[in-house]
Each structure stands twice: as C-alpha cells, then as structure tokens.
Chains A and B, each alone.
Chain A
Amino acid sequence: MAASDSFATEGNQPFFHFYLELWRNDTFLSALRVSVWVAFISTTMALIIGLFLTRAMFRLFKRDDWKFIAWFPMLIPHFVAAYICFLLFAPSGWFSSVVFQIGWLETMSQFPVFVNDPMYLGVILTYVWKEIPFVILMLLPVYQEMDLRYEDVSKTLGGNRWTVFKTVELPWIWPISLEVFLILFVFVLGAFEVPALLGVTFPKMIPVLAYDWFYQAGWVNRPLAQAMMVILSLLAIVAAALILTFSQRWRYKWASRRDDS
C-alpha cells in the first residue's frame, strides 16, 4: 500500500520521481545520516559491552542467576528508559549535580549537552542501556553450549588471550553476533519512541521525520514519507536475507560437527 503510493506519478514524471526527490532533499539526507550514525554507534557499543559482560560473567559464575539483573532493563519501556537517561544526563540532571558538588561546575549551562543534542548522544545512551540485555540474552546460550576444551587446546599450543578468543570463541559467536547486530541496527533505524523524546528538531531521525511528513497538514509530503519507509523496509528485507543465509550456514556447520563425534 505504502509502496504503491510512493510510486504514484503525475503527468510525465518518471516512475521513481519521489525517490529522486527524496535523494535531493537535504532534510531527508541529514535524517538518514543521523539515523545511520545513531544505529551504528549504539548497536556496536551494545554488542561490544554485552559481549564483554557475557564473557566475564559466564566465567565467574557457575550458575546464571545474575542474568536476571542484566535483564532488568528489558522490563522498562523504551520511553521510560529515555526519561531515565534525561534524569541522569540532562544539564539539570544527576550527573550535572554531582559534578557541581565536586566543584568542577559553576552553572548548569557548563555541563556538556547530552540530551536533545544534534549528535543524539542521549538517544545512543538510551539504546545502549536497553539493548545490552538483549545482547546478553542472545549470547549467553551460545557461551553455555561452547566446548571450553578447545580453549585449553589453544592455550597449550601457545595462544595468547586474543588468539584464544579468535580461534575458540569467535567461530561460535559471530553468526549470532551478526544476527543481533542486524536486528538491533534495523530496529534503531525504524523506532520512533526514543528519538521523539530525546531528539532535536534538526536533524530529525528518519522515523520522526516520516511521522511528521505523513501526518502534517496538506499531505504534500505523504508520498515522500512512504518512499522513505519503503527504503527502510527494503533494507530490512536485505537484512533478513543475510541473517537467513548466515544462520543456515551455521546450522550446517553444527550438524556436521555433531556427526563427527
């Protein structure tokens, strides 16, 4: 439905003219840039921190009761997480107060702008906090199923910590890490709730811009909003295809390993 509207033509304009128009639209381009930036940075950070935490905790604890602490943010809706981020990082927030008490600040305005900033740092922080539990949730079963004897092999053969990680853990975790990365990346690109609260009026993130264009009076920009959503959806389908191929290859590897034993 949205797709067909976005292809609609008037007179003798080319079939893709809304897409061409979008490509020349500076508002869209800056929205795209900031969206990709936020999605890439927050997903990468969540993945790296989540991986580090999973590795550390999995080695330290035999039982996995600790995971319930890590899953706690999953119970919190995204916009409440955004509010917590605001509470902590706003110029009038808790960190600003603490820094003032230490004596590094004299006024509120000296505190660096973390929320409602054009770099979307607040949005990134919120997403990282919300997505780390998801990363742990996905990675932990893989670590629990991993055969740690390979680690001893790698160590006896003289591998340092990085080699051990690279040869033992990485082959196990990279397919699932890629899947997590793609899911989160596409989710952040398309989610409206957090940037609507912690964003700025320019540049807007794509979902906020799309909502604005779709529901503003006049309906002039409606096809543009739809074209934007079609682009995002295509991106999602490509991501799904990638996930499918990789996870299947992985499953194939698994099956052959089981047959060996």
Chain B
Amino acid sequence: MTRKRKLWMRLTMLSLFMLIFVAPVILMFLKSVSFGWSWPDWRPTQFDLRGWRVVFGDPRIFSSLWNTILIAGVVVMLNFIIATPAAYALSRFHFRGKAIIESLLMLPILIPVLAIAMGLHLTMIRLGLTDQVLGVIFIHLLPTLPYAIRVLKSGFDRLKNEWEEQGAVLGANSQTVFWTVMVPLMTPSIRSTAVLVFVISLSQYVLTAIIGGGTVSTLPMIYYPFFTSADEAVIASFSVLFALLPIMFLILFEITLRVYLRVIKRP
C-alpha cells in the first residue's frame, strides 16, 4: 500500500467511525437545543433551550438526579471494595475449583437480571430491603460485579509479580505496595471499571423498578414515562443529560486519580 493511499484509508475509516458512533449522539444534542425541528426538516432551523428548561424545571428530576448519582457512586465504591480482593486472588493464586468459581462469577452477566430480581424479590421483602435505596444499591451490584472482577483481573494479569516484589524488597509493607505500586500501575483498569460500573448502574430500569417498588425514584424511572410524551426537545434534553452523566463522572474520576498520583509521587 502506498503511503498516500494509506493516509486516505485512515481518514475514510476515521470519518466512518465518527459517523457511526459519534454523529447520532450529536444529532440528539442538536435536537435538544432546537426549536420546532420537525419532519421534514433535515436540519434544525431555530435554537432554543426550552427542552432543557423543562427538564430542570421538573422538581422530581432534581431528587432523582441526586438518587441516581448517590446509588451509582456507592455502587462503584462497593464494586472496588468487593472486586479488588476477588480479582487479585483469581489472578495471583491457583487453587482447586478456581475455574468453577470463575464461571460462577460470570453467571450474573449471563442469567437475565429479571430472573434474579424475581427470585430475590421475596427474600428482599422479608429482609426489609425493598422500597429503599439500600436495596436498590444491593441489587445493582449483581449486574456490575462480574464486569468489575473481569476487568480488574485482567489488569492484575498484565501486572507482573516482580513489581510487587521490588516494592517489598525496598522495604514497603503490603499496604504501601498496594497503594503506591499497584494502584498507579493499574490506572487504566481502574478507570474502565469505574466508568463501566457507573454506566451499568445508570442504565438499570427494571431492577430499580422491581426492588425500589416505585418509591426509589432514579432518572430512568422518570425517563420511561417521558419517552411516550410527544415533546421531542424535552426527551432529547433528558437523553443528553443521561449521556452527560458518565462523561462528567469520567472527568471527575480522572481528576481525582491525577491528584492521587501527584500526591503519591511527591518525594
């Protein structure tokens, strides 16, 4: 392949990628800030923030937004607390029945969450966990933990044992090794885990509906009734809000991570 042709191919493929993966989201954003953009206009004619005003003028949205962020944040934290030791053990140690445990941990990805929720519903009613945020947080762990363990495990797999040993040789105890050697080297895995878990928690409708029983209101709970309403700019704004949350979370997480690394690298 000549160089010029390769360059052309690259440009074509990149634009194809943008067209498939990013352009639809931009269209949605345009819809949310447009005014009276309806069939058969192929592009917006007037811009207006009415959709956004309606979304933020709705008092339910604020409390739901807070609930959603609280639940997703706690779910991310719990995932790290539970998944890190599990992933470490699965990556570093060999023991009997490891393959079986690994596939058991995969099951919640495969078994429909609806089946698990229907099965657990009665148990959770007995435990008094339904209709409250705690129960919803608990049930969100099911579809998220397998992914967290998987991503972190492959992170540990790539990280060679020697780094830990080097830290230990230099006289650091295992805690120091973990916080100053492993965490900085694992940042890509940590970042993907956090974002993945956040998005999955954000996207749960049916689990929150069943376990939260309508009393725990998260953003998807409001989104579904909105979907059937005819006001396109409002639904579009609401959808963009959903797309913005993970992006803002990613930025916030990245800043925290950077600050942490800077603090650690200080002599």
Contact = CB atoms under 8 A, between A and B. Distances in A.
A96 B38 CA distance: 11
Interface stretch (B48-56, B162-170, B178-186, B239-247): B239-247
Nearest to A244: B103
A175 interface: no
A79 B13 CA distance: 27
B223 A79 contact: yes
A20 interface: no
A142 interface: no
Nearest to B203: A77
Contact of B112 (A72, A94, A190, A244): A190
B18 A75 contact: no
B199 A1 contact: no
A50 to B, nearest CB: 11
Interface in B213-253: 220, 223-224, 227, 235-236, 239, 242-243, 246-247, 250
A189 B115 CA distance: 12
B53 to A, nearest CB: 20
Contacts of A61: 10
Nearest to A186: B110
B123 interface: yes
A239 B40 contact: no
Interface residues of B, number: 56
Interface string A51-82: 00100110011000010011011111111100
A72 B115 CA distance: 29
Task: Indicate the size class of the contact surface on chain A.
Answer: 35 or more
B114 A229 contact: yes
Contacts of A9: none
B206 A193 contact: yes
A53 B14 CA distance: 11
Of A1, A75, A88, most buried by chain B (CB within 10 Å of CB) is A75
Given A75-B199, A187-B109, A233-B111, A133 B224 contact: no
Interface in A81-124: 83-84, 87-88, 92-94, 96-98, 100-101, 105, 108
Contact of B39 (A77, A92, A214): A92
Q: Tell me the dominant secondary structure on chain B's binding face.
A: helix
A190 B114 contact: yes
B203 A193 contact: yes
Q: Tell me the dominant secondary structure on chain A's binding face.
A: helix
A160 interface: no
A176 interface: no
Given A57-B13, A192-B114, A96 B25 contact: no
Contacts of A36: none
A211 interface: yes
B120 interface: yes
Contact of B114 (A1, A207, A243): A207
B17 A79 contact: no
A87 B236 contact: yes
13 contacts: A75-B246, A76-B243, A87-B236, A88-B27, A133-B21, A182-B110, A189-B112, A190-B111, A190-B112, A192-B205, A196-B206, A233-B112, A237-B110
Interface of A: 1-3, 53, 56-57, 60-61, 66, 69-70, 72-80, 83-84, 87-88, 92-94, 96-98, 100-101, 105, 108, 129, 132-133, 182-183, 186-187, 189-193, 196-197, 207, 210-211, 214, 225-226, 229-230, 232-233, 236-237, 239-241, 243-244, 248
